[in-house]
Amino acid sequence: MQKTKYPLRYIRNFPCISHEEQKNLAAAKAAIVGCGGLGGFIAEELARLGVGSLTLIDGDRHEESNLNRQLTATEATLGGLKVLAAQERLAQVNSTVNVEVHAEFLTLENAPTLLAGADLVMDALDSIAARLMLEQACKDLGIPFVFAAINGWYGMLGVNYPGDERVAMLYGAADEAEQETSNPAFTPAVVASLAVAEAVKVLLNRPLSLHEAWMQIDLLNMSFDLLRFPQAPAQG
């Protein structure tokens, strides 16, 4: 923090985040899987908070339908890779953050390489099958991750620690039929911000709200509900 050319960059983080915690964020590495509606907001908020290293993973390109909600989608970036647009924007937001990009989709095979060194993974995916795959990858690698999903006025999110199978519990089988979603600009912005708030708690080892419970978000009726996961039966 002493070397930055903008020494007051993080002053509004204090005392909500302590000076020692700010140093911990600077030493942390987060991977964001998916750089669309959710992922763009998540990446920018983590960069503005001062998370020192970000890995962006997405093989997709911007198209016209992204313009209504995706932070890095502009008329100038149409047809370009989402990860490169995000990298360019983050360099303008906080040049002290190390941003590593992978213009490919995450798989169980490449996850050990793409997620190497990550302290936390942020799920910004758009399908059940991909989210279940990410849960398995993080479980195999022993990395906690924050999962989030959006559809129209609605969203949900929670936190997985290694060994948890919260996503499988919520979504069931990967072959469930998935419907085309609609997503206005405000839904990814709200859900991403809530996901980042919980991510900071994970990185700073603060008590979590969304480990034993997940959040259901209804922006149409402005309701935010915490629903508890069932407890595993006692052994022995």
CA distances from 27 to 14, 21, 159, 161 (A): 17, 10, 21, 20
Specify burial of residue 26 (Cβ count, 10 A radius: 0-12, 13-18, 19+): middle
Per-residue pLDDT at 163: 87
Helix segments in 185-234, DSSP class H: 186-203
Per-residue pLDDT at 231: 76
Instruction: Tell how far CA 192 is from the center of its chain.
Output: 7
Each residue of 34-68: b (16+ CB within 10 Å) or e? bbbbbbbbbbbbbbbbbbbbbbbbbebbbeeebee
Per-residue pLDDT at 130: 95
For 165, phi then psi, to 5°, come to -135, 55
Per-residue pLDDT at 236: 47
- In the three-class reduction of DSSP (H, G, I as helix; E, B as strand; rest coil), residue 203 is classed as helix
Q: Is the dihedral of CA 68, 69, 72, 78 positive or negative?
A: negative
Per-residue pLDDT at 4: 65
The pLDDT tens digits along the chain (236 residues) read 545 689 999 999 999 999 999 999 999 999 999 999 999 999 999 999 999 999 999 999 999 999 999 999 999 999 999 999 999 999 999 999 999 999 999 999 999 999 999 999 999 999 999 999 999 999 999 999 999 999 999 999 999 999 899 999 998 754 555 566 789 999 999 999 999 999 999 999 999 999 999 999 999 999 999 999 987 554 44
**Cβ pair 25, 200 in contact under 8 A:** yes
Q: Is the dihedral of CA 24, 26, 28, 32 positive or negative?
A: positive
Each residue of 148-179: b (16+ CB within 10 Å) or e? bbbeebbbbbbbbeeebebbbebbeeeeeeee
- Encoding tokens for residue 159? 């936190």
